[in-house]
Amino acid sequence: MSSPGYRPTPAAASQLNLRGAVDLSSLRRPPAPPQPPVAAASPEPTENGEAAAGGPSLRVDATETNFQDLVQLSAQVPVLFLLWSRYAADSPGVLAAAQRVVESFGGRLVLAAADVDTFPQLAQAFQVQAVPTAVAVVKGQPVPLFQGPADDAQIKSLVEELLQVAAANGVTGSIGDGTQGAEAEPEPLPPLHQAAIHAIEAGDYAGAAAAYKQALLEQPADADAKAGLAQVELMARLEKLSAADAESLRELAAQEPDNVHAQLGVADLDLSGGHVEDGFNRIIAFIGRNFGQEREAARVRLLELFEVVGVSDERVAKARQGLARVLF
């Protein structure tokens, strides 16, 4: 595997629902005693599992044995998997930077270092094309973060956004005795936003959407509610699709390029699988070929997906330019 030097890009909230994008269940735990999810770090851990500096260890070397434990841990805190190789020149520096950043957040997330040379199945599970690659897991769902070289500042920016996404999905725990990071407790969310989060935790996307819609009725300029609504509506659409449905939808979209339902459905799948630009370009191409109500429906959906990815994302800015070209 080589490192192509891709620039890190922000984690999209939609990627917390990646149906079919990465099969985390493909790594079954071998019939051996599971290792503790957080058991090895730098500085060297002591016999009771805590780092020599006095805090709990926030790095674990991911293996096939403890992989499922780490996925389960992601219901408490995000787990940042850094897939690396001793043969990739950028890997050691990125791994060290990721560890520094993770430790700076005082137990709000864990770093799982995955050596793809020793455990190639881990790379297969995340469909890694090059190393180093960082993929977070939140509540068992993968969130692609970046591929290639990244420095402390870039990783920290991504982690900050990841923690916001995790909080929006009810993952707000910490590793340790609860004293670490106590001063960094987030401000209480507005009641309707909190109601939406509770609904998301319960799998009630319709209830979450209703809460966000009410928040927008009360505060039309509430950007967080607008983005949250777009996210849960995407999650609700994806939840209805089985793997077979998704495959059929892709086949239909290939056969009928002007079928608005199929094209928008595949754009959802592209976005949820981390292929953000593919999803945007699919809808823009449809808009360029069509007119009337279907064109307007596609335009509205594209604007919703912009909210999901984040209006400040460079991929959104590029797609806006493409949209303007086909509209005008």
**R_g over Cα of the chain:** 20
Nearest to 268 by CA among 313, 236, 293, 225: 236
pLDDT (0 to 100) of residue 290: 93
Amino acid at 103: E
Task: Give the model's pLDDT for residue 57.
Answer: 66
| pLDDT for 126 | 85
Give yes or no for a contact between 304 and 13, defined as CB atoms under 8 angstroms apart: no
Output the pLDDT for position 37: 39
pLDDT value of residue 4: 37
Q: Is 134 exposed, middle or buried (0-12, 13-18, 19+ CB in 10 A)?
A: buried
DSSP states of 130-166: SSSEEEEEETTEEEEEEES---HHHHHHHHHHHHHHH
Domains and CATH numbers, the chain: 13-168 (3.40.30.10), 191-327 (1.25.40)
The CA-based dihedral angle spanning residues 205, 207, 210, 211, taken in that order and rounded to the nearest 10 degrees: -100
What pLDDT sits at residue 17?
33
Q: Which residues contact 150 (CB under 8 A, 6 or more apart)?
A: 8, 94, 97, 98, 134, 158
Digits of tens for pLDDT over the chain (328 positions)?
433 333 333 333 333 333 333 344 444 333 333 333 333 333 333 333 334 334 456 899 998 888 888 988 998 999 999 999 888 888 889 999 999 999 999 899 999 999 888 888 888 888 888 889 999 999 888 889 999 999 999 999 999 999 988 888 888 888 864 433 334 445 677 899 889 888 887 889 899 999 999 999 999 999 889 988 998 898 889 888 888 888 999 999 999 999 999 999 999 988 877 788 999 999 999 999 999 999 999 999 999 999 888 888 888 999 999 999 998 8
